């Protein structure tokens, strides 16, 4: 997928996340935001998979499903949803790990537990 299309999808993701945040506000469980965001993205015409397993391979040996991506949009963009006090370095590392293991270039870390969503929205790029 080309960069222009990925950036277009990113804009749709941001707008959808803002809509979900306006509707639900902060303070809910991660799972509520994840389900609502999936629905909002589908309403905007995007294909979204939830709870996508990621297999870990260690020294060329598959170790099975060790991780799970919250949302995979158009089979290209990874979204990790959070509802926490802030975005920590470990949350960013988690998204980068998913990008590496799933061989993707673009991800978003979205923390819905903030007064303004712009303070909880982080674009994560890997080898883009």
Q: Domains along the chain?
A: 3-125 (3.40.1350)
- The rounded mean pLDDT for the chain is 94
C-alpha to C-alpha distance for 28 and 23, rounded to whole angstroms = 12
> 107: closest CA among 96, 117, 118, 93?
96
Nearest C-alpha neighbor of 106 from the set 37, 28, 13: 13
- Predicted local confidence at residue 60, as pLDDT: 87
Residue 56 confidence (pLDDT) above 90: no
97, containing H or E segment: helix 89-102
Q: Examine the pLDDT at 37 and tell me if it is beyond 90.
A: yes
Q: Please tell me the pTM assigned to this model.
A: 0.93
Kindly tell me if the per-residue pLDDT of 20 is higher than 90: yes
The whole-number pLDDT of residue 104 equals 93
User: Given this model, what pLDDT does residue 86 score?
Assistant: 85
> What is the band of 67 on the pLDDT scale with cuts at 50, 70, 90?
confident
The model's confidence at residue 23, banded by pLDDT at 50, 70 and 90, is very high
Quick one: what percent of the chain has pLDDT higher than 90?
79
pLDDT band of residue 92 (cuts 50, 70, 90) is very high
- What is the per-residue pLDDT across 76-91, written as a single tens digit (0 to 9) for each? 999 999 999 988 899 9
pLDDT (mean) for 22-40: 97
């Amino acid at each position: 997928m080309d960069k222009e299309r990925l950036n277009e999808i990113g804009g749709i993701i941001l707008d959808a996340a803002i809509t979900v945040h306006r509707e639900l506000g902060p303070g809910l469980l991660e799972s509520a935001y994840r389900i609502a965001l999936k629905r909002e993205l589908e309403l905007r015409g995007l294909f979204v998979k939830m709870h996508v397993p990621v297999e870990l391979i260690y020294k060329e040996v598959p170790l099975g499903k060790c991780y799970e991506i919250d949302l995979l949009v158009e089979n290209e963009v990874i979204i990790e949803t959070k509802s926490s006090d802030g975005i920590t370095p470990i949350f960013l590392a988690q998204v980068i790990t998913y990008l590496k293991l799933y061989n993707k270039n673009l991800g978003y870390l979205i923390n819905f537990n903030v007064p303004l969503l712009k303070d909880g929205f982080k674009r994560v790029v890997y080898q883009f």
